[in-house]
Amino acid sequence: MRTVTLIVVHCSATREGQSFDFEQCRRDHIRHRRFRDIGYHFYLTRDGEIHRGRPLEQVGAHCRNHNRHSIGVCYEGGLDRQGQPKDTRTLEQKASLVALLRELKRMFPQALIVGHRDLNPMKACPCFEAAKEYLF
């Protein structure tokens, strides 16, 4: 198993009222970003379902300069109806995200949970303060 020091939380930058499910995200990463597969290790749809992306043993493609030592977790959403950054997590997503992050921290106790924006200040993603919210 590779060394994991970060768990990076992302949003899909999808507007409220629009759908961008796991397969759409996967296809987008393959077609437009030229990845071999989805860049994230986990993707949470609005109904709270956790979809497995890349295997944990595999390096992700979600946060430049940090992929080798991180796990990427993305939730569907992150923009208001006008396309501005907003925490759009549903109650189901919030519950699933807590459960998933707790399990990942159990597996990788030294890893810090951060938002994408904590590593790249040019990003608003995940549109909430993940590092403060998930201090466990």
Q: What does the pLDDT read at residue 43?
A: 98
As given in the structure block, the two tokens for residue 11 are 């949003």
Cα→Cα distances 112→6, 115, 131, Å: 5, 10, 8
Give bridge partners of residue 84 from the DSSP assignment: none
**Domain map (residue ranges) of the chain:** 6-133
CATH, range 6-133: 3.40.80.10
pLDDT digits (tens, 9 = 90+) for 87-115: 999 999 999 999 999 999 999 999 999 99
pTM value is 0.96
Contact indicator for 53, 62 with CB cutoff of 8 Å = no
Tens-place pLDDT, residues 7-66: 999 999 999 999 999 999 999 999 999 999 999 999 999 999 999 999 999 999 999 999
User: Looking at residues 66-80, what average pLDDT do you find?
Assistant: 98
- Is the pLDDT at 1 greater than 90? The verdict is no
- If 0-12 CB within 10 Å is exposed, 13-18 middle and 19+ buried, where does residue 35 land? middle
